[in-house]
Chain A
Amino acid sequence: MTVKDKVIAIIAEQAVLEPSDVTMDSTLEDLGIDSMGLVESIFAIEEAFDISVPFNANDPSESDFDISSVQAIVDAVEKLVAEQS
């Protein structure tokens, strides 16, 4: 499974959707994922890839982890995997 497929699977599970319904330009809001769902997704991503994601729920926009779309999250995870592996 590629990083992209794994991230989509995690987001789909959180959103209670089929992975095929999660498009790359969707935002978490589009998918109905709230702040708690986001924190849970990040935890699942950290566990799946054995990485540490720099994210502070107090100010998601200031964190070094772009969550503006599914594509942005996939890109950020790929970068972290490359850096931390």
Chain B
Amino acid sequence: MRRVVITGAGTINPLGSNVPKTLESLREGRCGIAELDIRDLDRLAIRIGGQILDYHPEDRWNRQQIALYDRYTQFAMIAAEEALQQSGLAFTGDLAARSGVVLGTAGGGLQTSDENYRTVYEEGKNRVHPFVVPKLMNNAAASHISMAHNLKGPSYTVATACASSNHAMGQAFHMVRAGMSDVMITGGSESMLCFGGLKAWEGLRVMSKDACRPFSANRNGMVQGEGAAIFVFEEYDHAKKRGAEILCEVSGFAMTSDAGDIVMPSKQGAARAISGALADGKIDKSHVGYINAHGTGTAANDKTECAAVADVFGHHADELMISSTKSMHGHLIGGTGAVELLACIMALRDGIIAPTIGYEEPDPECALDVVPNESREANVDVVLSNAFAFGGLNAVLALRKH
């Protein structure tokens, strides 16, 4: 079986404008969640989020480009550029013909939809900008990455709500492992911090007004974030032959469906995805040292996730570490698994486990080592990244130290 490694990583998210800055924030346990700066904030009940601040697209792109790039596309482009630069790959000939982009996003160009609905419904105008459709479409970011980097193979977008990134990265993993491509660009991007995006979430009444405190007994909901992370998945021999720096190996992936409820998670569905990823990677569960949790900070997710982990790992559940970095960057919805993969890479490469910040009170229903409030040094060989979406769609990746 062909092996798959990661040879490039890039990001922009509330914790940093690139990978080194993000890892520093994760290490320091910094919180990227603050009062939002968006239009009509006074009409929202939820006024906090993990927003990317001091961001100026006009410094990077010209007017024509910005007319085509929704904020989520911009984030994806920035992250892809960093990842590809790190990989050192240039796409020409056969490599270009077979390489593509699998991107996760839930909302796609939601900022564009929001702005233009305002134009026609609120302002009553009968005309919108000619590029609204190519700007808002869910595949716009994947397409622009393919155009910017000459990726002419299979490219598409995966939309499975909060598991979009993990499903996308799992697909890229499968494609490289199966021999369809030697290199795939993958990850996720989301920019849902606009009036409509937040108003819709408010309706579910699962959002916190003050902080995201996963696993803490006094948690009171999730907090949204925005941003992107993109990775270069490459076949091991291909990477080795060209002397590429290998960040870690992607060794297993599994996806399951709860076939239960449209919003309430299922322990069995989550547990089957976790054990499936271990089986796929031929990983002994005792070797798993860290899990980057889905850990949304809602009552429903956190206790279900902890129960699933306890079921799969038995006694070993008390020995492994599990943290939710959503406490720092918020829930990036379709982009979340990609940004969280950075914490997994940091654990494997740097031996630093990102904390769950905002942890105040133990919850007997979440009685695992959640790495409360401060990062920890630990030598781990295998890590998992969990994503459990609304709709009961679960996707878990297993990564191994290289």
Contact = CB atoms under 8 A, between A and B. Distances in A.
B220 A58 contact: yes
B203 A43 contact: yes
A59 B263 contact: no
B298 interface: yes
Nearest to A59: B299
Interface string A59-72: 10010000000000
Contact of A56 (B203, B205, B263, B300): B205
A35 to B, nearest CB: 7
Contacts of A35: 264
A3 to B, nearest CB: 22
A55 interface: yes
A74 interface: no
Nearest to A39: B205
B189 to A, nearest CB: 27
Contacts of B219: 58
Interface in B93-128: none
Contacts of B299: 57-59
B298 to A, nearest CB: 5
Interface residues of B, number: 15
Contacts, number: 30
Most B Cβ at <10 Å: residue of A36, A42, A52 = A36
Contacts of B220: 56, 58-59, 62
Most buried by A among B205, B208, B298, B299: B205
B148 interface: no
A42 B263 contact: no
A47 to B, nearest CB: 12
B210 to A, nearest CB: 11
B298 A58 contact: yes
Contacts of A36: 262-263
Main secondary structure of the interface of B (DSSP, over half): loop
Contacts of A58: 205-206, 208, 219-221, 298-300
Nearest to B263: A36
Interface in B232-267: 262-264
Interface size classification for chain A: 10 to 19
A36 B262 CA distance: 10
Contacts of B205: 39, 42, 55-58
A42 B205 CA distance: 10
Contacts of A57: 204-206, 299
A39 B205 CA distance: 7
> Which of A36, A43, A58, A62 has its CB near the most chain B CB atoms (within 10 A)?
A58
Interface centre among A52, A55, A56 (most CB of B within 10 A): A56
Contacts of A39: 203-205
A43 B45 CA distance: 14
Nearest to A63: B205
Contacts of B221: 56, 58
A61 to B, nearest CB: 10
Contacts of B208: 58
Contacts of B300: 58
A62 B220 CA distance: 10
Contacts of B262: 36
Nearest to A36: B263
Contacts of A62: 220
26 contacts: A35-B264, A36-B263, A39-B203, A39-B205, A42-B205, A43-B203, A52-B45, A55-B205, A56-B205, A56-B206, A56-B220, A57-B204, A57-B205, A57-B206, A57-B299, A58-B205, A58-B206, A58-B208, A58-B219, A58-B220, A58-B298, A58-B299, A58-B300, A59-B220, A59-B299, A62-B220
Given A56-B205, A58-B220, A62-B220, 4 more contacts: A35-B264, A57-B205, A57-B299, A59-B220
Of all A-B residue pairs in the complex, the 9 with the closest CB atoms, nearest first, are A57-B205, A58-B299, A58-B221, A57-B206, A58-B220, A58-B298, A39-B205, A56-B220, A55-B205
